[in-house]
Chain A
Amino acid sequence: MERLWNTHIIEVGFDKIVEFFYRMSEVADKLRQEGLYFRYGPERLPEIIRIPERGTLRVKYGFPIFQKYGVCMDVTNVEQALIAEEAGATSVMVLDKLPYDVRSSGGIARMASINRIREVMDNVTIPVMAKVRIGHYMEARILEALGIDMIDESEVLTPADEERHINKWLFKVPFVNGARNLGEALRRIYEGASMIRTKGEAGTGNVAEAVKHMRTLMNEVMVLTFMSPEDRMKKAREYGVPYELVDLVSHLRRLPVVNFAAGGIATPADAALMMWLGADGVFVGSGIFKSQDPHIRAEAIVLATSMWWSPDIVLEAQSMIDEAKSMMGIDIRKLKPEELLQVRGV
C-alpha cells in the first residue's frame, strides 16, 4: 500500500537540513558577537571537532530519526515501562497520571515526580521522555539535569506560560512539541523543537482529532509547494516564521524534522491509519494502559506501526486485540470548550 502523501521520500540529505539551520543563524551569530542579538538558533561548531561536542543540532535532530516507524508509549511506573520495552516500544514517556486520568481528576497537571522518572530511567534500556508544562523553563532545566532523553513541552499539562513557549535553542536536550497545523509546527521548529507531533485530543481514545491535525498539516505543506514566492512570503508572515523556513518546507515537501502522530490512538488500526496519513511514527498515551489487554495491545500497535503498509500484517495485529477491551473513550463533542487540551499553546 502506498502512502497518501510521500512524506518518507527524502530528496534532501539530513546534513543539508542541519546546515540550513546553522546558516540561518549565522548572521544572528555574528551580530551576537557584537552584543546585538538574543540567541534564537543553534550554536555554531568548529570546523574540526577533536573534543566531543554534545547537544549539537545533528545530535538533537538525529535522536528522533531513530524513533521513526516506532511507538513511544505513556507509562506511569516501572512495571508498565518494562511491559512497553518488552512489547517493542522505541521509547517511553513517564507520567504521574495518564492523560485520561488527568482529564477526569481535574486540577493542575504538572511535570511527573522525579523519583518516578528516575526509577524508570534506571530500569529500561530504551530512551525515556517526560513532559513539562508549556513555557516552564525550570521544569525543563530539571529534566535536562536529570538526563532525560527528550522533553515533551506538552499541552496535556497545564501551561505555565499562556503566551510563550520555551526557547528550546538554549537546551542541549531535544524537545518534541504538539501542533495542529503547519503554522504551529513551524513556530515550534523556529523555537528549536527537534520533533513535532500532532496534538490530537489526548486521553479521549478518539483518533479523529489526530487525523484532522495530520491532514491539515500535510495539506498546508502540499499547498505551499505550488505557491508563488510572493504567496509563500505572505504565508511566512501569517505563520510568524522566517520566509526561508517556509521555503525549505515547500522544497522538502514535508517538515524538516521528524513528525509523529499523537492524541487518541487506541488500536493497531488507528496507528496504521496515522502512518498512512504521513506520520513518521506514533505516540500512544492512554490507549494502551487504559485498555484491558495492555501486553498484547502494545505489541500489536508496534507491529501495525512498523508494517502499516501491509494489510495482511495490520489484520494480524488487529486480530491480536479485543475491541471489547479497548479503552472506552470520550466523545469530543461532549467535552466543554474549556476541557479541550489542543487549544493550549498556539
Chain B
Amino acid sequence: MKVGILAYQGGVDEHRYMVVEACKELSISCEVVNVVEKHSASNIDALIIPGGESTTILKLMKRFGVDEVIRKSIENGLPVMGTCAGAILLAKRVKDLKTGRVLQGTLETLDMLVIRNFYGRQRESFEIDLDIQVLGEKPFRGIFIRSPAIVEVGQGVEVMARYGESYVLVRQGKVFASTFHPELSGDTRLHKYFIEFVKR
C-alpha cells in the first residue's frame, strides 16, 4: 500500500511514524511518500493531510496546482484523512472565529462548516479523552492544539466523535476529518482503522 502525506508544512514526520507503526501492527507492507508536486499526488492509495497552518499549506498547494489533482482523485474515490489544518482544507466552508474571515479555495470535499481557532488560542489548547465508538471501549486521547471545530455537517456526513457541542471526527464517503491530533497520541488505533478502511 502506498500512503501519501501532503508534505508542505506541519506534522508530516509524526504522521509518517504513525502510519509505519500502524502498518507494522497490521502486518501490511506499506510505503509512505511525500506529496508536494503534481506527479507525486497521483498514484497513491491513500492521502493524509497533516496539521500545520492551513493558510500556509493552502497557499503552497495552490502554487503547485496540487489542489486540483487531489480534488479529482477524491472524486475518483481516493481515501483521505485530514487532521486539524487537514480538516480545514477538506471543508466546504471555513470561517475564523475572531476575525470572521472566510478561508476560500479549500478542497471543498467535506460538507461541513469549520470554525478556525474555535476553542481559543494556544493557552486554551487541551487534552481530553474521547469516546470513539468504532475504536472500541477504551477512550482515545484527543490532543487539540489551537484546533478548529466542526460546527455543522451536511446530510451524508457521519459523525464519529464529538466533544461538547462540536464534532471532532467525521466521515463522508472515503474522506475522514479530525480536529484533534491522533499522530501525537501514541495510540495507533485511528491510523489502523483508516488503513484497514483503505484496504477494503
List residues of chain A with CB under 8 Å of any chain B CB: 8-11, 13-16, 18-19, 45, 48-56, 58-59, 62-63, 65-70, 85, 88-91, 121-127, 144, 147-150, 172-174, 302-303, 306-307
List residues of chain B with CB under 8 Å of any chain A CB: 7-14, 16-18, 21, 36, 51-53, 55-56, 59-60, 63, 84-85, 96, 98-99, 101, 116-117, 120-129, 139, 141, 143-146, 181, 183-187
For A56, list chain B residues within 8 Å (CB).
Answer: 126-127
Q: Known: A149-B146, A302-B56. Contact between A15 and B184, CB under 8 A?
A: yes
Cα A144 to Cα B123 in complex, Å, equals 8
Residues B127 and A49 in contact, CB atoms below 8 Å apart? yes
The 8 A-B residue pairs with the shortest CB-CB distance in the complex, in nearest-first order: A15-B186, A52-B126, A149-B122, A90-B53, A88-B59, A69-B9, A59-B125, A88-B56
Question: From B120, which residue of chain A is reached at the shortest CB distance?
Answer: A147
Cα A149 to Cα B124 in complex, Å, equals 10
For A65, give its contact among B59, B126, B184 (CB under 8 Å).
B184
For A172, list chain B residues within 8 Å (CB).
Answer: 123
Cα A149 to Cα B53 in complex, Å, equals 14
Residues A303 and B60 in contact, CB atoms below 8 Å apart? yes
Residues A59 and B129 in contact, CB atoms below 8 Å apart? no
Number of A-B contacts (CB under 8 A): 159
Q: Known: A14-B184, A69-B10, A306-B8. Contact between A89 and B56, CB under 8 A?
A: yes
Question: From A90, which residue of chain B is reached at the shortest CB distance?
Answer: B53
Residues B60 and A10 in contact, CB atoms below 8 Å apart? no
| Distance between A310 CB and nearest chain B CB, rounded to angstroms | 8
Residues A90 and B52 in contact, CB atoms below 8 Å apart? yes
For A70, list chain B residues within 8 Å (CB).
Answer: 9-10, 52-53, 56
For A123, give its contact among B60, B99, B185 (CB under 8 Å).
B99
Cα A51 to Cα B127 in complex, Å, equals 9
Residues A307 and B36 in contact, CB atoms below 8 Å apart? yes
Q: Known: A66-B51, A303-B63. Contact between A58 and B10, CB under 8 A?
A: no
Residues B116 and A125 in contact, CB atoms below 8 Å apart? yes
For B55, give its contact among A11, A53, A126 (CB under 8 Å).
A126
Q: Known: A54-B123, A63-B122. Contact between A8 and B53, CB under 8 A?
A: no
Residues A62 and B117 in contact, CB atoms below 8 Å apart? no
Question: From B36, which residue of chain A is reached at the shortest CB distance?
Answer: A307
Q: Known: A16-B186, A63-B145, A302-B56. Contact between A8 and B129, CB under 8 A?
A: no
Cα A11 to Cα B186 in complex, Å, equals 13
Residues B55 and A125 in contact, CB atoms below 8 Å apart? yes
